[in-house]
Amino acid sequence: MTQRKNFGLYDASFEHDSCGFGLIANVDGRASDWLVDQAFRALAKMSHRGGINADGVTGDGCGILLYRPDAWLRALAREAGIEVGPLFAAGLMFLERDAASAVTQRSVLERCLREEGLQPRGWRDVPVNESACGPLGAATRPCIAQVFVDAGDGADEAAFERALFRARRRARTQRVAAGDDIFYPVSLSAATIVYKAMAAPGRLREVFPDLQRADLAACAATFHQRFSTNTLPNWRLAQPFRLLAHNGEINTIRANRTWVESRASKWKSPLVDLSDLGPLVSTAGSDSQSLDNMLEVLLAGGIDLLAAMRILIPPAWSAQDNLDEDLAAFHEYYALHTEPWDGPAGLVMCDARYAACSLDRNGLRPARWARSDDGHLIVASEAGLWDVADQRIVAKGQLGPGEMLAVDLHEHALLDATAIDRINAGRAPFKRWLRDGVAYLESHLIDPGLAAEPFAPELLARYQKQFALTREERDIVLKALAEDEAEATGSMGDDTPIAVMSRQSRPLYEYFRQAFAQVTNPPIDPLRERLVMSLVTQIGQEGNVFDLSPENARQLMLTSPVLSQRKLRQVLALDEYVHRQRKFDLYFDERTGLKSALEQLCRRVEEAVRDGVVLVLLSDRYSSPGLLPIHALLATGAVHAHLLRLNLRSDCNLLVETGTMRDAHHCACLIGFGATAVYPYLAYQTLFDMNRRGELKGRAGEAPSEIGRSYRRGIRKGLLKILSKMGISSIAGYRGAGLFEILGLHHEVVELCFPGTPSRIGGATFADIENEYRAQLAAARDPHYALPAGGLMKALPDGEFHMYNPAVVGALQAAVRTGDMALYRQYADAVNSRAPAALRDLLALQPQTASLDVDEVEAPSAILKRFDSAGMSLGALSPEAHEALAIAMNRLGARSNSGEGGEDPARYGTERMSKIKQVASGRFGVTPTYLVNAEVLQIKIAQGAKPGEGGQLPGHKVNALIARLRYAKPGIGLISPPPHHDIYSIEDLAQLIFDLREVNPTALISVKLVAHAGVGTIAAGVVKAGADLITISGHDGGTGASPWSSIKYAGVPWELGLAETHQTLLRNGLRERVILQTDGGLKTGLDVVKAALLGADSFGFGTAPMVALGCKYLRICHLNSCATGIATQNDILRRKHFLGAPEMVENFFRFVAADVRGILASLGAKSLAEIVGRTGLLRQMEGVTDKQRELDLSPLLAASALVPNAAGCGSAPQTHTELAARIAADTAESVANGKSGCFHYAITNIDRAIGARLAGAISRRHGADGMAHAPLTLQFRGSAGQSFGAWNAAGMQLILHGEANDGVGKGMAGGRIVVRPSEHARFASQDTAIVGNTCLYGATGGEFFAAGRAGERFGVRNSGALAVIEGVGDHGCEYMTGGTVVVLGVSGLNFGAGMTGGFAYVLDLERQFVDRYNHELVDIHRISLEGMENHLQHLRALLRSHVDHTASAWGARLLADFRDVLHKFWLVKPKAASLDALTDELRRAA
């Protein structure tokens, strides 16, 4: 990836996409125009899953792949005067619009074709109707030509395809080498042809008259609609590609691209020469494109589609104990030589033999299928896309996580997941090969007590000093890892300077910020969804994936990449490697210089690997006098990059023995930049020493005996968390991926050691780093020098600088308590004149016009309107503090933010109400009433202190009030999942925005993101998804509780994120569609003005108003013992010690507004609006340290333009559902008068969030009780679009005959939703999917009955709804805190993970459930006839209701046989709830 210097912060490599997709095939191989027609209609019905560009018309691209439309192709050729033979191929090419260039491009392809022995027969220009594309699409359209090619004489089709593949690849490679980026073969195959365009999906056929011909018939087609964060139209990236179309995001793309290249030289197929094709996968463009490239290579090399797809995107086989052994062996065998392409993925693909659909291991994209009685199969992102009558459907279903479904177009057979697995498992005796070849080291047998080879105290002290261990790190970080097997927890934000700004020497690892997923891909919950994750690491030499042989299984497996001492020794002592290893000491003579030392190291390692060395041990364990150390991370990165460049990396393993690694972030850096495994000896030695001195406590308060193992467990947990933030499930997909943003290293360092990792502002050079080594080494030799105290976590007088140091806190409090502007001035001057600590401190104002009189500047009230308080939940804050903040903001005409945790309805409509209501992943208390009482609805995607992570409110903080507002039980802990379970991709976000707009049409919809490289592109996608307001949070945002490593190592300063977002939106013409806000450590008017100049319209404040209320920055929020009564629920602390008053907050904001006015006057500006984005008013000052002086902030200042009418804001073009409008009109009178009524409608999949608008109207008119007194019944017939019944309010009965898509009953608060198949249905309901994924997510009440199966994650975060369903996918009832769920059929894996409340009855006819539920927090009980009468009665009553509402035949049968099936039901309940208490509750409810 190349860095675009001097062009601001936008980088095309950050782009993401996502979408809707589908496949239609006739299993019997009957081609028809009907099938083609259905494909286009289905595509048109997914418009809402795509993005619309700034011109309001041009889509992000769509396309169709047709299987063997032979007659049509022959006709096209014939009409163009081209003759083709019996075996021919046709393909589309994107060419230069300039005719002369196009001729060159054609001739290159023709030459390449001939060189492969093929005969190009002729070209035809493909007619294009530009007007159907939209202005942007038309402007960027390439010339589109169709080529026809004949196979050589006697060639078989497979060889023909391989020759076409080689010709195509070579032609493209040659053109790219010649600087031509236009030439692009859309497809060229004998079996399939792809048409694609930048157009709205409904208009694809209009674009290409070819597609409108009556003779177009096919027996299979795949189609795709794209939604891209990319707004610069690119026809190439429309899908399907040559083989596949992808909905989702490959999170591991960087590792995949890297490792594929490193193996390229090993991969040799007897069938095809891969050596002269250029890079095997594209390193630019989209992840989907690279995946398509990869699949092509595997197929060309001779692996068939069924195996290739399972190799690239395997299911979560390693954690499934009950997986067939042969199948597991198949996956394990291939895992030795490839790493998974990992991330949310729904894929449809089609080659010469199969049309197939496949899903990622976590099932994060929906794929619904249906089969008709005439042999047609449709699979697509949504149900309800085709025009087939109900009575002709014979089966319907949903692909589960990691499942694949294929149509064999030769054998005319439908292959389900089991059939495909059987084929794959039988390909070779994998099990035997693995048994003979793979060796394991069992970690727990190896020195858990760390007793081996302890350092002498002097040696330990020397190493500790040399590697700059601080006491803080020892006593907090290491101690927590060893005592609690987890990372230390902290609170508040990181108010220290980033490493490069610091005037101290900071560990090199602190220059690296972890990448995390937001919006375009979801993070994983590494605790509750552990089953999809793996840290398994192998050691050995990789083989040739095309070579199916037992030799390839000779590998050593480790359970994790963190080694113990004995394990390292054991690996090094293995017979196989004992003569194929070499140790490289990481020390150098300072006369050499660090850079040369690294280069020498690389060359020495290279030589060794060429000599056959397999184990490369990089070690800083053995120092020599007079030599300086090379940091292990520099060495690892440089060696890894060097070996990659030479395609040698896969021949060896990098083992790193280092004193620099202490915490999980350090470990992640080393592995992320290429280490195979690490051995952190100094951490072990330090822990051993602490234990010897009695400083560690074991579980029972005694000295622990297994500190080594505990430490490793803690590190592993941390590693999983870091992987999960990026949505990556296996360490293989993380290794070498460099998933970081570098903050503050000079490009000479980045180029040599960390190539390809974003690093945007320059910084420390090799010389700077070397100087710091020298100082540390000198310190290490000084016997008087004690370990430094640290001070990164706490503001120690002799430690790192803190921006909220005691003096600042004291000055601010003095000012707001007295209301004395002079005292504020003292505070602000102290803040503004601190030694440069934040990036903005290096940016000075430079007025360009004469100053004004302050009176000429807009009134403070106009400025105050732009101030929000940042989201802080009631729960994190005491009610007193939360309300004081709301009152202050309301009185100022500004807005406060409820945070995630609901709000007391008593506050609605008063000055205590929060005008911004937050919708976060836990959906606590998110009811329709909550949503309508808001001016802004903020979707919190990530928070600065812990982006990509979930949260947990421990039980002791859940008091009666909190429990009531969050629909939970007092004393029971609550979990916020890492992702929003209804946002796994950008089109999901668009859907949630749509859902929220439906329930509250007057509210602005806001999306909160965290700054990191690429956030601007995400923001562009968010704007296209329809958001009105975007908040870019800095990394320094506060938190009530978060692991320390998350507070310190994720996210970047808002200055970078804000500038990048502003620039990207400007560049894409989207800037005026959105209000841009920033937050993160804003303290004074100067901060506000600088933020405005960098592009912010609006400003969020979190910590400063807290300090104004009396917060003293104690950083003990997570302990509930806040002595200032702010961040605690403790009665005494709140009652006696909370001394805050709204006036203090008001004073603060008035001061800041006045301060802003003054600065505006000095800049000669009459209003804030005048300076938004005017980066020309800023200039970079010289720093005060060497490192600071190397910083280049010019990318932040790249765009200086005025934003037209930014704060006004019109939202994105909406696809308004006509149905919702009709319902609104029909029910208006009933709602106004509180009268019941009954209404009937037809519904289709484009009718989304039906019910939400009505729920909003009812909640506004009737409050939380809704119309329970006079219910409205709405009957629907058809296939409902997404979010059917979202936010359903009391008194709303939605009855759907047909089926529904994802998100049914999302946020339901009351009423009833019934989904039942049409009366004509021929399938068995308990075997058939009737609703999609994540139904009832965040429901707080109401009833739900569905006669059929639900998809994955049914009832996630349910806190009060009652549901009866006939089967669920994986992760059912995850994080549930209340309500009752009855499952009358098969349940998927991981049921009840993180479930702390409510209960479920699950029918288990096949006796599988014991292996399928998550044992962590729930237990299961048989319902016996004795002692559980209440449950028996309850269950029977629910069953009866189910049958009454849905007329389910299955339900009726169970009811009839109730006594016989009763013992096959499990009662699933939280361990924390006693059976008796549950029974009591039932009795009371009865």
Q: Which residues bind other proteins (CB under 8 A)?
A: 471, 475, 492, 694-695, 697, 778-779, 782-786, 788-789, 793-798, 802, 804-807, 809, 1112-1116, 1119-1121, 1123, 1130, 1132-1133, 1136-1137, 1139
Residue 1120 beta carbon to other proteins: minimum distance, rounded to whole angstroms:
7
Computed from CA positions of residues 901, 906, 912, 917, in that sequence, does the dihedral angle turn out positive or negative? positive
Structure tokens at 20: 């809707």
Of 154 and 701, the one with the shorter C-beta distance to other proteins is 701
Q: How far is the CB of 1136 from other proteins (least distance, A)?
A: 7
To other proteins, the closest distance from the beta carbon of 704 in angstroms equals: 15
- The phi and psi torsions of 877 (rounded to 5 degrees) equal -100, 155
Write down how long the chain is: 1486
H helix or E strand, kind and range, residue 62: strand 62-67
- DSSP per-residue string spanning 599-621: HHHHHHHHHHHHTT--EEEEE-S
Terminal CA-CA length for the chain? 64
Let me know: does 885 contact 867? Beta carbons within 8 Å: no
Name which of 269 and 491 has its Cβ closer to other proteins. 491
What angle is formed at CA 1367 by the lines to CA 1362 and CA 1368, rounded to 5 degrees?
80
The reply to whether 1117 belongs to the active site is no
Taking the CA atoms of 951, 956, 957 and 959 in sequence, report the sign of the dihedral they define: positive
As measured in angstroms, the least distance from the Cβ of 972 to other proteins is 19
Q: In a 10 Å sphere around its CB, with 0-12 CB exposed, 13-18 middle and 19+ buried, how is residue 1067 labelled? A: middle
Q: Provide the 3-class DSSP secondary structure of residue 530.
A: helix
Residue 1135 or 1459: the one with the smaller Cβ distance to other proteins is 1135
- In whole angstroms, the minimum distance from the beta carbon of 1151 to other proteins comes to 22
Smallest distance, other proteins to C-beta of residue 1047, A: 11
711, 772 contact by CB (below 8 A) = no
- Comparing CB distances to other proteins, the nearer of 791 and 1021 is 791
Q: Which pair of tokens denotes residue 138?
A: 């038309």
DSSP string, 1445-1464: HH--HHHHHHHHTHHHHGGG
- Judged on CB neighbours under 10 Å (0-12, 13-18, 19+), 1204 is exposed
**Tokens 């209320």 sit on residue:** 1109
Tell me if 518 sits within 8 A of 944, measured CB to CB: no
- The whole-angstrom separation of Cα 262 and Cα 1099 is 46
- Both tokens of 145, joined, read 């030509």
Query: What gap in Å lies between CA 1188 and CA 1166, rounded to an integer?
Result: 34
CB of 769 to other proteins, least distance (A): 20
> Shortest approach of other proteins to residue 1135 CB, angstroms?
11
- Two tokens at 912? 């205590």
- CB nearer other proteins, residue 1127 or residue 1156: 1127
User: Contact 308/325 with Cβ under 8 angstroms?
Assistant: no
CB of 537 to other proteins, least distance (A): 36
Residue 492 or 1159 having the CB closest to other proteins: 492
Distance in Å, CB of 796 to other proteins, minimum: 6
As a whole number of angstroms, the longest Cα–Cα distance in the chain is 94
Rg (CA), the chain: 32
Count the neighbouring beta carbons within 10 Å of the beta carbon of residue 748: 13
The strand pairing partners of 62, in sequence order, are: 197, 225
User: DSSP assignment of 208-243, as one string?
Assistant: -GGGG-TT--BSEEEEEEEEES--S--GGG-S--SS
Nearer to other proteins, 772 or 1299 (CB): 772
Closest distance of CB 809 from other proteins, Å: 6
The residues that bridge with 1163 in the sheet, in sequence order, are none
Q: DSSP states of 683-746 as a string?
A: HHHHHHHHHHTT----TTSSPPS-HHHHHHHHHHHHHHHHHHHTT--BGGGTTT---EEE-SB-
- Is the CB of 153 or the CB of 798 nearer to other proteins? 798
Give whichever of 1139 and 1410 is closer to other proteins, judged by the CB atom.
1139
Q: How far is the CB of 319 from other proteins (least distance, A)?
A: 33
Q: What residues contact residue 896 under an 8 Å CB cut-off, 6+ apart? A: 868, 869, 885, 886, 888, 889, 890, 914, 915, 916
Helix (H, G, I), strand (E, B) or coil at 1483: helix
1091's tokens: 């933020």
CB of 280 to other proteins, least distance (A): 51
- 695 or 1192, CB closer to other proteins? 695
User: In the chain, helix, strand, coil percent, each to 5?
Assistant: 35, 20, 45
d(CA 865, CA 863): 5
Residue number with CB closer to other proteins (491 or 518): 491
**3-class SS of residue 276:** coil
Report the residue number, 1127 or 1432, with the smaller CB distance to other proteins: 1127
Q: Which is nearer to other proteins, 288 or 1120 (CB)?
A: 1120
Which of 19, 112, 667, 1335 is catalytic? The answer is 19
Active site residues: 19
